[in-house]
Amino acid sequence: MLPVVKWRDNLSTMVDEFFGRDRLSDFLGDRTGISTPAVNIKEGENDFQIEVAAPGLDKKDFRINVDNGVLNISSEKEEKKEDKDDEFVRREFSYSTFSRSFSIPESVDADKIKANHKDGVLTITMPKKEESKQKPPKQIEIS
């Protein structure tokens, strides 16, 4: 093991013992405050759906817009905590953000796009234009 990594592990253990949790990894780890949530895209008979897994975010944290055939989904969230005691004050804050963009197919009626947020999942429904929907086979009679 490299000396720096070993020192970091030992220091991390001391921090764990003092604070009861590894806070050093928040500063020295791979976290950047920016994460991209997982996305599912489904095509149904009448629409497309985009599901964004975003636990911990509320609907007020999202911004969704359509510009020149591109659907943009973004979020910014800031949290602040402060614990006060007679002998110390501890303040923590975090800031997370993400942005995703998707090209909207020409078959989508962009004026009728809707969004719903429930149980940590943002669902965006993009209805297809009537002329783009698959029609059932039609029997042609021969004259």
Q: What is the pTM of this model?
A: 0.63
> What integer pLDDT is reported at residue 21 of this predicted model?
46
Q: Identify whether 57 is part of a domain.
A: yes
Query: How confident is the prediction along the chain (143 residues), in pLDDT tens digits per residue?
Result: 444 444 444 544 544 454 444 444 444 444 444 468 889 999 998 999 999 998 888 889 999 999 999 999 999 888 777 777 777 777 777 778 888 999 999 999 999 999 999 998 999 999 999 887 778 888 889 98
Q: Identify whether 138 is part of a domain.
A: no
Q: Identify whether 139 is part of a domain.
A: no
Q: Identify whether 137 is part of a domain.
A: no
Q: What does the block give as tokens for 5?
A: 């990594």
When divided into structural domains, the chain yields a total of 2
Please report which residue ranges of the chain form alpha helices under DSSP H.
3-19, 24-28
- For residues 25 and 39, state if they share a domain: no
> What integer pLDDT is reported at residue 15 of this predicted model?
45
35: closest CA among 80, 74, 91?
74
Task: Look at the block and give the residue holding tokens 């895209």.
Answer: 41
Q: Which domain holds residue 16?
A: 1-31
Q: Taking a C-beta distance cutoff of 8 angstroms, is the pair 30, 46 a contact?
A: no
- For residues 24 and 94, state if they share a domain: no
Longest dimension (CA), the chain: 96
124: closest CA among 59, 34, 30, 45?
59
CATH of the domain at 64: 2.60.40.790
